[in-house]
Structures are given as structure tokens and as C-alpha cells.
Amino acid sequence: PMRMGPLEQAHRVRKFLLEKFKEEGIVSPAIGVAVVFSDTCCDDQPTQADLEGYVLGSRELSYLEKILPEFLGKAMPVGFRQIPSPGCIDFLHELWCESWPLKMTLSMQVSRDISDRVMLDEAQFTALQAVLENDIVVVRGGAGTGKTILAGELAMKEAEAGKRVLVLTYTEALGMELAKRLNGGKSGRVTVSSIGRFALKRLREAGFDEPESHEPAFWEKVTKRAAESRSLWKGCGWDTVIVDEAQDLGKHEWNISTRCARKPPRIWCFADEGQAFWADRKIPQKIRKNGVLYNLAKAYRCPPGVQALAEAYLGKELDVEAIDADKQKGIISIRACEEGKAHRTVEEEVRKLIADGFKLGEIAIVSLRGLLFSGSIVHRKNISGHEVAMATAGEIGEHIVCDTFLRYKGLERPAIIVTDLQHEAERYPVRMNIAVSRAYGVLRIVGDRGEMEKDAILSGIL
């Protein structure tokens, strides 16, 4: 138990601040008190008289721009308004440094920068409302535009309205992460799974006993058999089906998705065509023709230089100035190695990131090669003396993740190391776009110099 309640702590800090302003002869701004539980989802406000209406949970943090004005109106002292001295903000910064003796590490700087980018903007609020008002919707947007966040919020809102919701992803790791994040939704009405895993579970219940395999042929067989079995989906009828990574679904996955929906269907699709790995896979014409199309244009997840680099692999003109600025800040680093020494250099970069304050659970190593390539770094069990985990390992929060670009698609971490570059690999620009855009803090690219020199974008910024 806490020695002092959250609101009591807030009042104590307010008193301390007012005393400091008075000592310096500075007129303070109005200072209110409230409580933020940043790791707790508060579906309902606490009923205690001193807390009701003064609490924000983790879900509200993404909407501060929208809800803060009204919230501040409650939290501020009633009838207290005064014009603060011009230097009051600078004085607050001085107080912060005075009370925070630790050196500002790269990890801390990144955390501060991230907080300025994670708020949902007006366009995303508009998209949220537009989707809720329509039964068939396709939301398109590039990496970092908030598609998965919107999908999660929509799932929760539908569940709160009493609807049964099915959320399907293409990659298993993203499905697992979303399942943890949504945790069944209100009253357990939200079901979340990768579509392949969802199909396999149904087939297992019907007697399918072939051993599971990483081979693409196995999952092709699973989705094909599940899609062709009408009886497997009899009586499903989810009120709302949400499909994330819609650009990667093939015809069998789409058959499964539509058979899971009620009649008439309510299906919301989220897609990033720039990260489509299979050129022949498209959102069905029927959905595109009958649905409302909404585009998310603004990317907010990645730092500007990282975003510029990711977009360059989709054909956008390279913003060298933005990339150079992030290189100078230590956000971007590109290491060209002698042939065969890339993995050793990755270990060096891991050690540097840890020294810069990053936790193991904030680091991911992303290979541009597939899982079946024997020389991929993903087959390592230990890197820099630390046990690593694949993205689908379950409890990965305390571990460095080491996985392929395709299996890690849809996920993100503050520190990303991209390696195993091979310029001749199929759809190399898409691989790079996916891998680079996983970084919402810092990006490290490590590869053989020969491979980097074949890459017109990397060779221009080495």
C-alpha cells in the first residue's frame, strides 16, 4: 500500500511548487491537481469523492489534446486565475533539473521526444467517428499513422456497446500483442488472433492433427482447408470483424474473415499498401466497392529522420536534411562492416544501447532475411550475453526480441537494429520499409559494406 494517497501526493507537490515560486518572486500559473494511472486502463471513474472526475487512465493518454481542456477545468482551483510571470516555464525546467540528479541518457531523451508524438490528432479522431458510422470501411495509411491504435480503440468501443468483436491480424506476433492490449475487452466480448492461428484452432477442434510447421506451405494448407469448410464457421456471426494488415490477406484469409461476420456484415479493414509483401494480394473488390474509404496521411510514430528513411524505400524523395539531423542527435546510426562481421557489430550496438539507458525489453533486432535462411541472426539464442526471444515467444517484455521483418511487422520498440541486408532479396525496398519503420525511438542499421553499397539510399547517407 502507498504511504500517501495519489491525490495527497499531488497536493504536496503543488504546495512545494507554490513555495518555490514565492521564494523566487515569480508569479506562478494556476496549478491544479489530478491523478494519472499511466499503466492502468480505467473504464470507470473511482467513486471516492476526492477522486471522482480527477483520474486519467492509460487509454486516455492518447487523447489528451481532446480531453485535457475540460479535465483542466475540473482540476484547477475554482475562481483562481492570474497571469504568470514570463519566466515561469524556464523556472520549472530549472526546478526539474535541480530535483533530477541523473544524467540525461539517450534513452531519456528518446522518451521525452516520443511523448510529443504519441497523441492522436484531429484526423485520427475523425477517422474513429467515420468508421463507427459505417458497416464496411477500409482505412488506409502508411507506417506509424495509428491504424492499429485505431483498430484497438474501435474494438473496445464496439464491445462497450454490447457487440461481439473479432479482431484478425496477418502476423501472429501482432495478434498476440493486440490480444494482451485489449485483454478481451469489456465483458470479454473481444476475440483477437492472427488469422492463421484462428483457422488452425478451428481445424484442431474438428479433428485436424497435422503437426504444426513454420513452412509457408503448412499455413497455406490450413487457411485453404478452413476457408473451404463452410461448416467450420456455421453460427459464428460476430457483430463486428476488424481486419488489421489487410493488404497481406490472400483469398483464403478473406473467405475466413467474411464468413466470421454477421449478415449483413460489419467489416472494418486497416491496410498499408506500401508494406504489401505479396503483389497479387488485394482487398476484395466487393469490400472496396461497397465500403467507405478513409485515408490517414499523418505519420506520428517515428522520429522525422527515421520516417524519411522509411518513406524513401517507397519511392519518396530522400529527405537528407531530416536524416542528418537525426544522425547528429544519435537517433540514427548506420554501420557498414567487413563481410561476415555484421552480427558481431550488432552485439556492439546492443551493448551501446544498454549503456545509453535502454532496457532489454525496449530493444528489437530485425532481420531482413526469412526464417528459413540458416545464416539469419534470428537463429541466435544469445546476443551480447543476453537471452533473446522471438516475437511469438509469449512473455517477451523483459527480453531483446530477435526476429524477421515479416514476423515483426506491426510491432514496434524504442530501439531497433536492422541487419542481414541482402540487396537482391525479393521486394528488398518493402523489407527495408517494414524494418526501419518499427523504430519509434532510435534506429541502427548494421550490414556488410558490399550490400550497403548496392543500396542507392543507404550508400548516399553512409
- Predicted confidence at residue 1, as pLDDT, reads 52
Position 168, amino acid: L
Extract the C-alpha cell encoding 243.
481486419
Report the C-alpha gap between 410 and 148 in whole angstroms: 8
Report the C-alpha gap between 53 and 47 in whole angstroms: 9
Q: What are phi and psi of 295, to 5 degrees?
A: -105, 130
Banded pLDDT at 120 (limits 50, 70, 90): low
Helix then strand then coil, % of the chain, to nearest 5? 45, 15, 40
58 pLDDT higher than 80: no
Mean pLDDT of 119-128: 66
Extract the C-alpha cell encoding 121.
490528432
DSSP-assigned letter for residue 384 = T
Report the C-alpha gap between 333 and 416 in whole angstroms: 11
Instruction: Find out whether 51 and 40 touch, Cβ atoms under 8 Å.
Output: no
180 pLDDT higher than 50: yes
pLDDT digits (tens, 9 = 90+) for 189-220: 899 999 999 999 999 999 999 999 989 999 99
pLDDT digits (tens, 9 = 90+) for 382-422: 999 999 999 999 788 899 999 999 999 999 999 999 999 99
* Portion of the chain with pLDDT greater than 90, in percent: 60
Mean pLDDT of the chain: 88
Instruction: Find out whether 62 and 10 touch, Cβ atoms under 8 Å.
Output: no
Cα angle, residue 423 at apex, residues 410 and 275 outer, rounded to 5°: 25
- Predicted confidence at residue 138, as pLDDT, reads 95
In a 3-state reduction of DSSP, which class is residue 170? coil
In a 3-state reduction of DSSP, which class is residue 46? coil
Extract the C-alpha cell encoding 132.
463507427
Mean pLDDT of 85-107: 68
Mean pLDDT of 31-52: 71
Mean pLDDT of 240-258: 96
Full set of structural domains in the chain with CATH? 6-115 (no CATH), 122-296 (3.40.50.300), 304-459 (3.40.50.300)
- Predicted confidence at residue 102, as pLDDT, reads 47
pLDDT digits (tens, 9 = 90+) for 278-334: 989 999 999 999 999 998 888 878 999 999 999 999 999 999 999 999 999 999 999
Residue predicted with more confidence, 65 or 307: 307
381-389 long-range contacts (CB < 8 A, ≥24 apart) are 383/346, 383/347, 383/350, 384/347, 384/350, 384/351, 384/354, 386/350, 386/360
Asked, as a colleague might, if the bond just before 46 is cis with ω within 30 of 0, I would say: no
Report the C-alpha gap between 368 and 419 in whole angstroms: 6
258 pLDDT higher than 90: yes
